[in-house]
Structure 1
Amino acid sequence: MADHDFIAGIPLVLGGNVFGWSSKGDEAFAVLDAFYEAGGRMIDTADVYSAWVPGHKGGESEAEIGRWLESRGVRDEMRLHTKTGMLGGSELYEPATVLGSLDASLERLRTDRVDLYYAHKDYPELDIGQIVEAFDGAVQSGKAVAVGASNFDAARLEAALDQANKDGAAGFAALQNEYNLVARQAYGADLQHLVADRGLAMLPFFGLASGYLTGKYRTDEDFAKSVRGSRARQLAGTNGPAVIAAMDAVAAETGASLAAIALAWLVRQPGIPAPIASARTKGQLDELLEFTRVELSDDQLARLTAAA
């Protein structure tokens, strides 16, 4: 895999979807402080976080992170990843609109640049050249160091990379698709081969399947009492219990938490230098960071992989 400037610190990207929503103010700052103190240097967010909350319009996460960055004076040490493309339709990928969205994100983040700027979703009705042109403009502006693709399939990602090569444009250097022990379809063999062949970094989201892979959802009551329970149930699918059983066995052998096991499995998969995971509290973050100390054997990896 190629070296990328948007990758730094410990092999975890801190997910920002909770900031400004279920984690804010002093609680959010405690998580961010602890992440920084542990050597964490990558934070992932998006302009759409957290527009799904009544009364929110998007940008709340970026604003929370921006307040922390400014108050701590650590911007130059951090690698900021953000995205655009969800707060509307395909018109968001007009070149001028991408630049306007980037400027709005920078204002909220209180910085003059982001290290990685994603097309948050594909619009297959658009010519791939338009998307490449729009995100190349973000790099040419000097306000995005690199660009990435999120929720793209192999055919469209390959077309984008080929178009960028043809045009001499900035190509997507990263992929962010859903991938975890229970949901693997969005990063199948075709994308794994493409990422490896082209030297991209895959930074998967939902690394803990909305909390399902922490082991805290084991009964209908567990799903019902959590704000993320319905999403966790959906991600768990029919194979979820078998995966949790395999994880329980590995936990008994290693003493590691299920969250740590899930993330340790991810960083052993092709093309993945770091997963994305979020923490609402410092206690949750401590549990995530445990994975950096977990060494799974080949046998344990194979059993976990086979469970789904």
Structure 2
Amino acid sequence: MKKREIGRSGIHISPFAFGGNVFGWTADEKRSFELLDAFVDSGFELIDTADVYSGWVPGNKGGESETIIGNWLKKTGKRDKVIIATKVGKPMGEGKKGLSKTYITKAVEDSLRRLQTDHIDLYQSHDDDRDTPLLETLETYTDLIKQGKVRAIGASNYSPERLEEAIK
């Protein structure tokens, strides 16, 4: 299967990703493990999630999807066979949202703990945060890359104009 590079990150992926928003919602842990095994056994590797997944389910707080993926990684030992993409920025409770240095620094540690890994391959801004300067967010991501906690960054739900501003 032909792989594609994510931007200029050096990370190469097959053309399909598994969306982990169902974990802890419509797929319990047992079913999630079965789905992840089948996905990876079929030659795919990109697993996409977010810190907020599946916080919309009654009784959940967010982080359930990352927790299930982390449990699967621990059980199977397949961390070296997958690319983990997760996101930050959507509301996770009172005072837990946005893309400030303080929030991202805390959120990445929470995601690493739930995912039971020492690094995130692709860490993405889940939403644009116009209350935080882009430079603050980008400098925070740069620090996380230098620390080895994140390999590459991305953005979701940004306008083309804001992406262009971030790239400059």
Coordinate RMSD, CA, aligned: 1.8
Query: What is the CA distance between 1:7 and its match in structure 2?
Result: 3.2
Query: What is the CA distance between 1:90 and its match in structure 2?
Result: 8.7
Contact 2:125 2:154 in 1 (8 A): yes
Q: Which residue of 2 aligns with 1:158?
A: 164
In 2 relative to 1, CA 58–158 (structure 1 residues): closer, same or farther, beyond 3 Å?
Answer: same
Letter in 2 for 1:57: K
Q: Match of 2:124, SS?
A: strand
| Unaligned 5+ runs, structure 2 | none
Q: Which residue of 1 aligns with 2:53?
A: 49
Contact 2:98 2:132 in 1 (8 A): no
Q: Match of 1:81, SS?
A: strand
Residue 11 (structure 1) aligned with residue 12 (structure 2): no
Q: TM-score, normalised by structure 1?
A: 0.50
Query: What is the CA distance between 1:133 and its match in structure 2?
Result: 1.7
Q: Which residue of 2 aligns with 1:24?
A: 28
How far apart, in 1, do the equivalents of 2:151 and 2:31 lie? 30
Count of aligned pairs between the two proteins: 161
Residue 77 (structure 1) aligned with residue 59 (structure 2): no
Letter in 2 for 1:67: N
Q: Residues 220-299 of structure 1 correspond to what in structure 2 (within 5 A)? A: none
| Unaligned 5+ runs, structure 1 | 163-308
How far apart, in 2, do the equivalents of 1:29 and 1:101 lie? 24
Q: Match of 2:154, SS?
A: strand
Letter in 1 for 2:161: A
Q: Which residue of 2 aligns with 1:234?
A: none
Q: Which residue of 2 aligns with 1:294?
A: none
Q: Whose strand proportion is higher, 1 or 2?
A: 2
How far apart, in 1, do the equivalents of 2:33 and 2:23 lie? 9
How far apart, in 1, do the equivalents of 2:31 and 2:140 lie? 37
Contact 1:99 1:137 in 2 (8 A): no
Q: Which residue of 1 aligns with 2:138?
A: 132
Q: Match of 2:21, SS?
A: coil
Q: Which residue of 2 aligns with 1:103?
A: 109
Q: Which residue of 2 aligns with 1:33?
A: 37
Letter in 1 for 2:11: F
Q: Whose helix proportion is higher, 1 or 2?
A: 1
Identity %: 41
Query: What is the CA distance between 1:127 and its match in structure 2?
Result: 2.2
How far apart, in 2, do the equivalents of 1:95 and 1:86 lie? 15
Query: What is the CA distance between 1:94 and its match in structure 2?
Result: 2.1
Deviations 1:221-264, CA, capped at 9 Å, x for gaps: xxxxxxxxxxxxxxxxxxxxxxxxxxxxxxxxxxxxxxxxxxxx
Query: What is the CA distance between 1:11 and its match in structure 2?
Result: 1.3
Letter in 2 for 1:14: F
In 2 relative to 1, CA 140–125 (structure 1 residues): closer, same or farther, beyond 3 Å?
Answer: same
- Aligned to 1:148, which of 146, 154, 158? 154
How far apart, in 1, do the equivalents of 2:165 and 2:78 lie? 37
In 2 relative to 1, CA 69–5 (structure 1 residues): closer, same or farther, beyond 3 Å?
Answer: farther
In 2 relative to 1, CA 5–14 (structure 1 residues): closer, same or farther, beyond 3 Å?
Answer: farther
How far apart, in 2, do the equivalents of 1:127 and 1:26 lie? 41
How far apart, in 2, do the equivalents of 1:114 and 1:98 lie? 13
Contact 1:90 1:123 in 2 (8 A): no
